Structure 1
Amino acid sequence: MTGAARDLGRQLDTGGGASLGGAIVSAQVDDVTESGRVNLTLDGVLQLEVPCADSYRDRKAGDWVAVRTGARPVVVWRLGDDPGDESADEIREIAADVAGDMIPVSAYTWGTGAPAGAGWQEVTTLWTRADANGTGQLYAQVATAVPSPDPPATRPPKTVAVTATDSGSWRNGRPDEYASVPMQGDWTGGGARRGGWFYGSKIATACAGKTVASMTVAFSRKTGSGVNGKRPLHLYLHGYTAPPSGQLSLGDGPEELLRLSVGAKGTATLPAAWRTALASGSARGLAIYTTGSADYMGVTGGTITIKFSA
């Protein structure tokens, strides 16, 4: 937290927010929830699903915010440095990426007569399509058989999001019909649950012939499962393209890449060895598993975002 943010929090806490119906205090966001609200701690108590002013954008865990206290706390704004420079860099990166996919046109003119100069061809029919990478293409059918230039190279997509085709939970060596989402741990003593996400062959197919720069996976923690505070997901790889009828056997792991409080969403970066295994097809999906009640939770999501460097 910056010194300016601390000073502002102290000043507001001395009464600057009284006209708003409660004192204004500073707090740090624990998690952002699926609803877009936040979980944060006030006076040692975890507050769930705290609503936020519309002006508080790009919400993320770790933000320092000004909170109006009262019977129902409300986040009124974010504290800290001006995010303008960071946003400008992101915009430049996106613009450069888009420009790289464009084919330059030196001039675009029109008229009622034929164009002046040599080399022009009359277009009788114009065709368009999206290629295998989703890039728009134009093809001109011309009146005379003049050799066509080589088509410009198109770049493969730099990012692909792969969603799970199926998911589920297993308990005592078989599918758990009582669990509606993938779960980890044992809350009641009936046996430790393990959950899994299945992608068929979609991950390896998306990565074929490309160089993978990174893989991230997005999860959300289900409300009403386990304690409210932040707990880790115990992540594993598995080798199944579809849910097994017997036990879900686990591969490499566990990795504690992400901690979530109840109702929160988050993104974890997969280790390099894991993305290599998933890209090659030696691993097919992700799973969660632990014993005991300390880290018991239900988890949804599982979308894997793959970024390519070539």
Structure 2
Amino acid sequence: MADRVTAEADRLAAALDAAGSGSGGDVVSLQVADVTESGRVNLQLGTGELLLEVPCPDSYRDRAAGDWVAVRMSSRPVVLWRLGDDPADSEADRMQAAAQQAFRDLQVVRAATYGTGAPAGTGWQAASAVYMRKVDGKLELYFQVGDASDPSPGTPAVPTSKPAVINPTASGTWRGGRPDDYASSPVQGDWTGRGNRRGGWFYGSAIQSACAGKTVASMRVAFTRKAGAGSNGKRPLHLYLHSHSSPPSGQLNLGDGPEDLLRLSAGAKGTATLPASWRAALASGSAKGIAIYASGRTDYMAVTGGTLTITFS
């Protein structure tokens, strides 16, 4: 234990020297390599090494890989603020998009009441027929009237379907043609020389059901790389499709791939945008889920997540 603590202290001292800082808490500019699952960041040093899990202030919002930040370097480094342009414009766009989505989620009809007599109040018109339909889960009503003394408001355009968020029903790792019970999450590569591992996420028929009758605009899959598995530096996830709706008892067979759509450092989270051919295969059901596979130690890692977000046009 003492040796490990000493080694970590030596590593941090070397990192501080590489960043041009002593132990007095100098402020330096560093680039974010990744954002971790805890909301902290991994920072890139000039030596190629990383400072892992550096805490950030609450004011540092929308953290992303590639950000430049001011960091107080000491025995416990901390991010002070993000460097760069004023985020007011992008923040306004994001808030407007959120407001539009909230408005869409409201019910179209303000109130619906009934009774045996005519309604009280002014502005009512008698309807000879009532029509209704459901669009994107919301009710639309149309009243046929004999005399439209008060013109009807215009019919709003049919909105784009809300994004579908699909969580995997299962996940796992396979080695040697069978499930690897020693792995608690999907793994790619081989760290011990006992054989390459492949991991997979399974969704049943949920993806195909969510896409039925709709035009898919994009599919994104969120992943988190577990710390303590493989080297700390950024490594690619080698992604594949597979055709299993649930975990197989034998080999996890790989489909199209590999696609290296995402690189993550230890403990980092990120999102991979799937290519058009992959989203078409998943939407049609010819592919069922996502897998990872690598050979050897270089890109060895354990990965969690697998939540799929589908947007429509």
TM exceeding 0.5: yes
- 1:132 and 1:245 map into 2 onto residues whose CA distance is 41
| Matched AA of 2:161 | P
SS of corresponding position for 1:61: coil
- 2:239 and 2:40 map into 1 onto residues whose CA distance is 26
SS of corresponding position for 1:266: strand
| Matched AA of 2:291 | A
The yes-or-no answer on 1:115 pairing with 2:121 is yes
Count of aligned pairs between the two proteins: 272
- 2:122 and 2:206 map into 1 onto residues whose CA distance is 52
Please list every run of 5 or more consecutive structure 2 residues that lacks an aligned counterpart in the other structure.
Answer: 1-18, 111-118, 128-133, 147-151
SS of corresponding position for 2:305: strand
- 2:54 and 2:224 map into 1 onto residues whose CA distance is 17
Counterpart in 2 of 1:33? 36
Two-structure CA RMSD over aligned residues (Å): 3.0
> Quick check: 1:101–1:155 contact (8 Å CA) kept in 2?
no
TM-score by length of 1: 0.80
SS of corresponding position for 1:256: strand
Cα deviation, 1:180-225, whole Å, max 9, x if unaligned, reads 0000000010000000000000000000000000000000001110
Counterpart in 2 of 1:171? 175
Share of identical aligned residues, percent?
64
SS of corresponding position for 1:227: coil
TM superposition shift of 1:52:
0.7
Counterpart in 2 of 1:305? 309
Counterpart in 2 of 1:10? none
| Matched AA of 2:40 | R
The yes-or-no answer on 1:258 pairing with 2:262 is yes
Cα deviation, 1:164-185, whole Å, max 9, x if unaligned, reads 0000000001000100000000
TM superposition shift of 1:49:
0.3
Counterpart in 2 of 1:162? 166
TM superposition shift of 1:286:
0.3
> Quick check: 2:136–2:162 contact (8 Å CA) kept in 1?
no
Counterpart in 1 of 2:67? 63
Counterpart in 2 of 1:188? 192
| Matched AA of 1:119 | Q
1:212–1:138 Cα change, 3 Å: closer
Counterpart in 1 of 2:222? 218
Counterpart in 2 of 1:24? 27
- 2:208 and 2:123 map into 1 onto residues whose CA distance is 51
- 1:94 and 1:50 map into 2 onto residues whose CA distance is 30
> Quick check: 2:187–2:303 contact (8 Å CA) kept in 1?
yes
| Matched AA of 1:24 | V
SS of corresponding position for 2:277: helix
1:170–1:88 Cα change, 3 Å: same
> Quick check: 1:198–1:284 contact (8 Å CA) kept in 2?
yes
Cα deviation, 1:16-65, whole Å, max 9, x if unaligned, reads xx9xx510000000000000000012342311000111111111100000
> Quick check: 1:226–1:295 contact (8 Å CA) kept in 2?
yes
The yes-or-no answer on 1:95 pairing with 2:69 is no
> Quick check: 1:101–1:154 contact (8 Å CA) kept in 2?
no
TM-score by length of 2: 0.79
TM superposition shift of 1:289:
0.2
The yes-or-no answer on 1:232 pairing with 2:236 is yes
Please list every run of 5 or more consecutive structure 1 residues that lacks an aligned counterpart in the other structure.
Answer: 1-12, 106-112, 122-130, 140-145
From 73, 76, 91, the counterpart of 2:77: 73
TM superposition shift of 1:120:
5.7
Counterpart in 2 of 1:5? none
1:295–1:116 Cα change, 3 Å: closer
> Quick check: 1:29–1:63 contact (8 Å CA) kept in 2?
yes
- 1:231 and 1:118 map into 2 onto residues whose CA distance is 66
